[in-house]
Chains A and B, each alone.
Chain A
Amino acid sequence: MVVQALKDQGVDVVFGYPGGAVLPIYDEVFQQKGIQHVLVRHEQGAVHAAEGYARSTGKPGVVLVTSGPGATNAVTGLTDALLDSIPLVVLTGQVPTFMIGSDAFQEADTVGITRPCTKHNWLVKDTANLSATIHEAFHVATAGRPGPVLVDIPKDVQFASAEYTSPQKARTGHYNPQVKGDLEAITELVAAIETAKRPVFYTGGGVINSGPAASQLLRELVEATGFPITSTLMGLGAYPASGKGWLGMLGMHGLYEANMAMHDCDLMINIGARFDDRITGRLDAFSPGSKKAHIDIDPSSINKVIKADIPIVGDIAHVLEDLLKVWKSRGRKTNVEAVAKWNVRVDEWRKTKCLSFKQEGKTIKPQHALTRLEALTKDHDRYITTEVGQHQMWAAQYLGFEDPNRWMTSGGLGTMGYGFPASIGVQMAHRDALVINVAGEASWLMNMQEMGTAIQFRLPVKQFILNNERLGMVRQWQELLHGERYSHSWSEALPDFVKLAEAFGAKGIRCSDPADLDDAIMEMIEYDGPVIFDCMVEKHENCFPMIPSGEPHNKMLLGEASTKDAIGSKGAVMV
């Protein structure tokens, strides 16, 4: 029955790990065709893989794990998906209903434990409700602001039989979030667009979650208005990095021009972003002179952190469509002269070249490694995942994304160990694509057991590890904020990554000389199978630009590299 429900929901891949309380479902999985089950090596990996699958396809990811430890191991992934609004349906086995509450073997209060880290969850106590509940779960996971849901199924409920309810007949409840924005508010925003002198689009993951149409409409709007556009970490790719108005990512490690434009703008149009603390910095100095419009499908995002002058609750694609319609019907007006002047100012900020660095000597700079990776892979059908830390920020800064759903990273929760399993999920959905996980050695080790999965399912995922033998971001903060006391932020006793790859039956490549880098990257791309690329990089490189916490956007640190380079002796602290 479970398998039938999944098939009717269009599921083709399930990531999971069997165990006692979920055996009846695994028995069904064994006796069917049509759904491929990917056996992971740890349940956390299953959830991240499903996240990678979901983010790269726009479809919900599906996970099947057992009770107790199976469910608790899934908790980090559920929380990650909740914070980044990723649609997941997680099915967990549970001890039989008559044993619930008796501290049975592998019993955990799964629904209780996962209540705060799912959008919703269910314990199915009667087989008659099982299929309908699974259909409802898919509806809740994908409708409105997407998120992870969990269905806990006791073993006796799995064994019993009952009449199957088709998706069409299943109750989807009263849960039908508003998708159309309020036309009055949209018209107010149009009026603001018509007169704004210093406008900026600030876009987020909501654009990507809304689907490809939202990205298309966004591109149309940006081209037609000529306003500059920046994006959060989650929203990269909604607007192409090669686009004329592109400012790059904003926020704590965002680009100088993006943060300056946010600080000095007079109209901020937030499309599907949530004023996260990594974006806003000091709140009382956040973009002090601007009128703020906020489009979000989740009413609780609006006025949570920053007061919105023009709040619009709705789905991005629907709202943008109406916005364009109204704007066009009123004559496609903008304050052309003022916006041109504003764009000149933005260009001045761009000249700071805040990402410049100097590759010299015999050590590879991580920025250089990513610049070369970008140059050698950008023309491929490419998907990028990352772990969490400095390498993640560098990847966001130095790689360019032309399309949505090509960039999978743990934004809200910042989960080290996300990227490798996520790359497996992406590769499952796109068998012929080039899938690269940009990693740090410390993050990568957190879920390295998934090498077994990559080998078993012949997934040629490329693990591009920027190895500085440090917890780079922790080290950077300790240097800047904790008196250079490097408490436990180095990676002692690292494995030999090449031998490790070989032990799993994969290919290992080590590169430490800048002169060998291009050839080594090409070797990685051309190898038909999983690769661990151990890129030995500069150990003490810091990630810049950076807004120190508690500072506003215009108080960015541009770092040593740019100090030596483009901006001369002005010093590291920019106005």
Chain B
Amino acid sequence: MSALKIKKGSNKHSAYNLRPTFSDVEERHTLAVLVDNEVGVLARVIGLFSGRGYNIESLTVAEVDHEGHMSRITIVTTGTPQVIEQIKAQVGRIIPVHEVHDLTVEGRAVERELALIKVICTGDKRVEALRLADIFRTNVVDSTLDSFTFEITGTSEKIDAFADLMRPLGLSDLARTGIAALPRGSL
């Protein structure tokens, strides 16, 4: 069958070697998804991300309207512009999803994250940890003679920066909530 001029075993001819022609610059977007608060709704959303190979950088979810049984899911994801558009369209067609907002596109948004950081140290290190915690405007929510637990709120970058400073001083545990976000202004 060499008359057909297909190189035998050539990978190029694999049925699935079909690359799209869209831009391949990755962007980071924050999506707000309003859903019915029903059993399995989070599994539907994250199952879609894992099933279709999309990224999740951060995910927060909680009921926001008890009467109306509504939850808000905030997802930070990365992808090419075409992938981001697909994610929004795919999430939008999940039946219990009411609204999908791309906060990155729809104008400026406030994004905040909360973290609890436990630092175990004594002596000078303990003094330095407390001094830095003060600069970062954290709250001390638990303290023993050899440890502090700080509560810090801010952008993810701020929490990263504070955690990096605490590491050499004796950071032992870090718990982060993931990002919550709302559009600015009266939107």
Contacts and interface: CB of A to CB of B under 8 A. Distances in A.
Contact of A300 (B39, B47, B86): B86
A572 interface: yes
A5 to B, nearest CB: 19
Interface residues of B, number: 38
Given A277-B18, A548-B13, A299 B93 contact: yes
- The secondary-structure label for the interface of chain A is loop
Given A281-B18, A481-B9, A482-B9, A300 B98 contact: no
Interface residues of A, number: 41
Interface string B1-18: 101111011101111111
Contacts of B123: none
A305 interface: yes
B13 A284 contact: no
Given A280-B18, A283-B21, A549-B15, A120 B95 contact: yes
B20 A283 contact: yes
Contacts of B161: none
Interface stretch (A110-118, A257-265, A379-387, A515-523): A110-118
A488 interface: no
Interface string B175-186: 000000000000
B30 to A, nearest CB: 20
B47 A116 contact: yes
Interface in B71-117: 82, 85-86, 89-90, 92-96, 98
A550 B3 contact: no
A573 B3 CA distance: 8
A550 B95 CA distance: 36
Interface string B37-61: 0011001100110010000000000
Contact of B21 (A284, A304, A479): A284
B82 A303 contact: yes
Interface string A531-575: 000000000000000001111000001000000000000011100
Contacts of A282: 18
B87 to A, nearest CB: 9
B86 A303 contact: yes
B99 to A, nearest CB: 10
B17 A300 contact: no
Interface string A245-281: 0000000000000000000000000000000010011
B12 A550 contact: yes
A571 B5 CA distance: 10
B66 interface: no
A145 B92 CA distance: 13
Contacts of B17: 549-550
B8 to A, nearest CB: 5
Contacts of B10: 481
A303 B82 CA distance: 7
The 9 A-B residue pairs whose C-beta atoms are closest, nearest first, are: A300-B89, A120-B95, A549-B15, A483-B8, A299-B89, A284-B21, A550-B13, A300-B90, A550-B12
Interface of A: 111-112, 115-116, 119-120, 123, 140, 144-145, 173-175, 277, 280-284, 298-300, 302-305, 307, 479-484, 548-551, 557, 571-573
30 contacts: A111-B40, A115-B40, A116-B47, A119-B95, A145-B93, A175-B95, A277-B15, A277-B18, A283-B18, A283-B19, A284-B19, A284-B21, A298-B89, A300-B90, A303-B82, A480-B1, A480-B4, A481-B13, A483-B8, A484-B1, A548-B6, A549-B13, A549-B14, A549-B15, A549-B17, A549-B18, A550-B12, A571-B3, A572-B4, A572-B5
Given A173-B95, A480-B1, A548-B13, 13 more contacts: A115-B43, A115-B44, A115-B47, A116-B51, A277-B15, A281-B18, A299-B93, A300-B89, A304-B86, A479-B1, A484-B1, A549-B14, A573-B5
